[in-house]
Structure formats: C-alpha cells, structure tokens
Amino acid sequence: MSARARIMNAAMSTSTNIPAGPVSHISDTALWVAVHRAAESKRKDALFRDPYAERLAGDRGREIVRRLEHGSSSAWSIVTRTAVLDELIMDAVRDGADMVVNLAAGLDTRPYRLPLFPGIRWIEVDFPEMIVYKETNLADALPRCALERIALDLTDRAARQRLFARLTEESRRILVITEGLLIYLTADEVAALAQDLHAMPHCSRWVADALTPELLERLLKTSFKTFATGSVRMHFGLTGGPAYFEQFGWRPHTVRRMTVESRRLKRPMPRAWLFKLLAALAPKRVREQFSQFEAYLFVLERAEPSNSEASGAEVSVKVARSGDQLSQQR
C-alpha cells in the first residue's frame, strides 16, 4: 500500500483511532463539510436536505469538527456555499449543460438530491480512496441522473489533460465545479487548471468559490491556524475578484458575495450584528478594510473574442444582490 493510501485510509476511517492532528489529509476537509451539511439537513427551515451527509461524515468527521479551531463556527459559510452553488448549478443545467464535471468532488451528494434531468451526465473526480469510501457508503443510494466516478489525482496534470480531452469529446456543453478546491492550490496551480479547462472547447461554464487574500490571511492567523502550518494548507487568495480569471480566457457570468448571500438565506456569520455595528461606527478607512474580508461564489464562462471585446468594450457581469429571487424548492 502506498504512503498516500495509508494516509487516506486513516483519514477516512470512522474508528476511534484518530490521527494526531485534526486534519491529516485533504480528504478530511470533505468529512468536515459533510458534518455541517448533515446538521443543516436536520433543521426545520433547512436550505437543502442531504439524507446521506451524516453517514458520510461518520465519527471521524464529527471528531474533526470538535478538534478543529472554530470548526463549528464555520457552519454558516459551508451551508451558504452549498445552497448558493446548488442554485448556480441548477441555473447552468437549465441553460443547457449536458455534462457536469465535479473536480475533487469529495462527499458531495448533489447527483442524489438535486432535481436533475435524467439525461444529465454527472462525473465525479477524486482520489481513488475517496471514490471507494463514497461508493461503499452510498451503495444503496440511487442517483437522479447518469453518474460516473473517476479515480484520479488531479495534481497529475498530464492525466488530468487526458481526462479533459476525453470528456470534451463526449459532451456538447460541460459545466465544471471546483467547490472548495481552489483555496488549497497555489496560484500557479490555479492558473494551470484554468488554462486546462479553457483548452476544453465544450467547457462552457465553471462554478467555483474563493476568498480574498485579505480574508485568507486573517483566517490563517485566527480561525484556521491548522491550515497555515499543518500537512493540509490553504494557499490561494483571489486578487481582484472573479475578473482575475479573464487572463486565462474566462469572464464572470454570475458573482455572489458570501456575506450578502448569508444574510439573504438567513445563515449569517456568528456575531454578524456586532461586526455590522462596528462597521457603522468605524471611520471610512476601517470600513474599507472590513470590505476586503470577503468570499466569492461565482460562475465563469468562456470569453471567446469578439469585435466589441477587441475594441475594449466592457464585459457585462451579472452580480446577485440581496433582493435576488430565492431558488426553487429543492
């Protein structure tokens, strides 16, 4: 058994043999997220219902949340991200996507819980051990569309490019999801991924999330010190918002801010009222500094050259406001 496989088996274990650190492998973060999806699903006013999250999280997931600095207080952002990306994904499906490719899919269960069309092909890509763990725990579950899981280390760029080439031959309009992935990549790795996705001519949209560098730096010094020095580290902060990806051939299609969406969905961050009060009383300089602490949930689309763009016309960006219509009942 390889060293990576041994680490993965320890990480995915639901036994009481807990590794020394709260997060020992990137796949541990999927267990952490599943715990919060399970808790949300039990609420009377749940934004989504994930009947499989609790079994997927297991004892190991609950232990991670207990041991991770501020592991429980991150629930609002994880739940908000899940709900908003549900909306963005369904929008893309209704607009004609015939294949959804979820990179580093983790323990996501959208193929089982979203109202997808039977003709949709849903592809999940992740480490081999994650695929085995997920298939074992979901053996009795029936997806709502054609579901395929592909075991692949996405850091192997050559293998990734071969996969992308095959998928683009099998679809006319591909939607790619990288939920919770970019933050664990370096800027060079994010650039390479953006370029590889753009090289797929049938990849029309890309759903992603990212934090500003200012927010990431603050979190690594306060709430998420584990991810600053541990074996799993957070690296990427999005400079300039989603327009950052224009240099790689992508332009913003839909942009939502985590703080705005959390209020819309009634899942505000802890002590949000206090931060709002402090911001109201603070001088302009401090308010501007607070505004830099933001996370984005967004959809990118291919920026094919046109005459108007060549002459310097601005790209239209649709930004969701707090008054946006709520998504359909899932």
Chain-centroid distance of CA 313 in Å reads 31
Which whole-number Å values give the CA distances from 255 to 77, 91, 243, 296, in the listed order? 16, 13, 10, 7
* pLDDT confidence tier of residue 8, bands split at 50, 70 and 90: very low
Q: pLDDT above 90 covers what percent of the chain? A: 71
> What is the spatial distance between Cα 85 and Cα 258, in angstroms, rounded to a whole number?
11
Scan for tokens 């206090």, then name that residue: 274
Q: Is 45 exposed, middle or buried (0-12, 13-18, 19+ CB in 10 A)?
A: exposed
Please report, for the chain, the start and end positions of each structural domain, with discontinuous segments joined by +: 75-305+315-319
- Prediction pTM value: 0.84
Which pLDDT tens digit goes with each residue over 39-59? 999 999 999 999 999 999 999
Average pLDDT, the chain: 86
Per-residue model confidence (pLDDT) at position 256? 98
Which pLDDT tens digit goes with each residue over 11-36? 454 443 445 568 889 999 999 999 99
Q: pLDDT above 70 covers what percent of the chain? A: 79
Per-residue model confidence (pLDDT) at position 69? 73
Contact (Cβ atoms closer than 8 angstroms) between residue 70 and residue 270: no
Contact (Cβ atoms closer than 8 angstroms) between residue 116 and residue 145: yes
Q: Could you give the 3-state DSSP secondary structure of residue 267? A: coil
Which pLDDT tens digit goes with each residue over 58-87? 999 999 999 987 667 889 999 999 999 999
Per-residue model confidence (pLDDT) at position 272? 61
> What is the spatial distance between Cα 132 and Cα 118, in angstroms, rounded to a whole number?
24
112 φ/ψ angles, rounded to the nearest 5 degrees: -100, -25
The secondary element (H helix, E strand) that includes residue 268 is none
Side-chain half-sphere exposure of 138, counting CA atoms within 13 A: 26
pLDDT at 260 over 90: yes
> What is the spatial distance between Cα 232 and Cα 325, in angstroms, rounded to a whole number?
37
> What is the spatial distance between Cα 143 and Cα 141, in angstroms, rounded to a whole number?
7
Which pLDDT tens digit goes with each residue over 282-330? 677 655 666 677 999 999 999 976 444 434 434 444 444 444 443 444 4
The pLDDT of 232-259, averaged and rounded, is 97
Strand partners, 146: 121
Decide which of 269 and 202 is more confident. 202
Decide which of 171 and 321 is more confident. 171
Fold of 75-305+315-319: Rossmann fold (3.40.50)
**In the 8-state DSSP scheme, what is residue 132?**
H
Contact (Cβ atoms closer than 8 angstroms) between residue 77 and residue 295: yes
The residue type at 137: N
Sign of CA dihedral 262, 224, 231, 156: positive
141: left (phi over 0), alpha (psi -120 to 50) or beta: beta
Per-residue model confidence (pLDDT) at position 274? 55
Per-residue model confidence (pLDDT) at position 24? 87
List the one residue out of 253, 255, 248, 251 whose CA is nearest residue 194.
248
